[in-house]
Amino acid sequence: MRVLIAEDNALLREGLTLLLTHNGHEVAATCVAEPEILPALRRTRPDAAVLDVRLPPSFRDEGLRAAVAARREFPGLPLLVLSQYVEQAYAAELLALGARGIGYLLKDRVGRVEQFLEALERIREGGTALDPEVVDEIFRQKASTNSLEVLTAREHEVLGLMAQGLANAAIAERLFVTERAVGKHIRGIFDKLDLPQEDTSVHRRVLAVLAYVGSGVAP
């Protein structure tokens, strides 16, 4: 696998490089600031990218904004975002891009080599890799503890396809139903999971997907 690394901490950047090359992967490029990322992606066309959430110059959300821009320019590019702390808003915004091929891990997971490499492989295959602490924090702050058992079989199907990053029209086509019917099922999912009404529909969709991933029934 060819991987781009965006990390301003020299020690961690070199550590990631050694870890990946030692395990048979190739580091296509390394970046230390947001403006370097898109040009490097265009130049190297890696199989996946590992990005720190906070990068120069302001050390706020440059890595996240780069991830959003990268997914828009390179649809489906697997992205593994690293963060020092659980940053609920960043995790939700990242997953709003679509759950397929997206990962969000705390940096201390890098030291757990097998977990890190497994997460990287999972997103390359189109899966989702969310740090358990991220999932716990999002649910603690934003979602109810309702079980997915309250959902109907059809709502489970719809939620599973949402977790794959499919839009309503694609879900309707997959299930041979109308887009209006899909919208009705999604509203039912939101209501049954008691997702907060004040959030945008995109944010509620992300929380529903997190419920699915965190339940243990997601593939």
Domain final residue pick, 89, 112, 140: 140
Instruction: Please count the other Cβ atoms lying within 10 Å of the Cβ belonging to residue 59.
Output: 12
**How far is it, in rounded angstroms, from Cα 80 to Cα 65?**
13
Q: Do 58 and 150 have their domain in common?
A: no
Same domain, 120 and 58: yes
Q: What is the pLDDT of residue 22?
A: 94
Last residue of a domain, one of 140, 160, 195: 140
- Pair (10, 82) in one structural domain: yes
CATH at 42: 3.40.50.2300
pLDDT at 182: 94
Torsion of CA 57, 64, 23, 31, to 10 degrees: -30
Instruction: Please say which residue of 83, 113, 140 terminates a domain.
Output: 140
Note whether 185 and 127 are same-domain residues: no
pLDDT of 145 reads 45
Residues 12 and 91 in one domain: yes
Mark the ranges of the chain whose per-residue pLDDT is less than 50: 142-145, 200, 218-219
Q: Does 111 lie in the same domain as 10?
A: yes
**Interatomic CA distance for residues 110 and 18, integer angstroms:** 12
Question: What pLDDT was estimated at residue 143?
Answer: 46
Provide the residue range defining the domain that includes 209: 143-215
Q: Domain of 155: which CATH number? A: 1.10.10.10
Q: Is the dihedral of CA 156, 72, 74, 50 positive or negative?
A: negative
pLDDT tens track for 27-73:
999 999 999 999 999 999 999 999 998 899 888 888 888 988 898 89
Query: What is the per-residue pLDDT for 148?
Result: 76
Same-domain check for residues 38 and 105: yes
Q: Report the predicted TM-score, pTM, of the whole model to 2 decimal places.
A: 0.67
Both 136 and 147 in one domain: the answer is no
Same domain, 135 and 147: no
Do 22 and 59 reside in the same domain of the chain? yes
**Same domain membership, residue 113 and residue 34:** yes
Residue type, 71: R
Question: Could you give the angle at which helices 179-192 and 168-175 cross, rounded to 10 degrees?
Answer: 110
Residues 21 and 99 in one domain: yes
How many domains are there within the chain? 2
User: Do residues 4 and 31 touch, judged by C-beta distance below 8 A?
Assistant: yes
| Distance between CA atoms of residues 33 and 63, nearest Å | 8
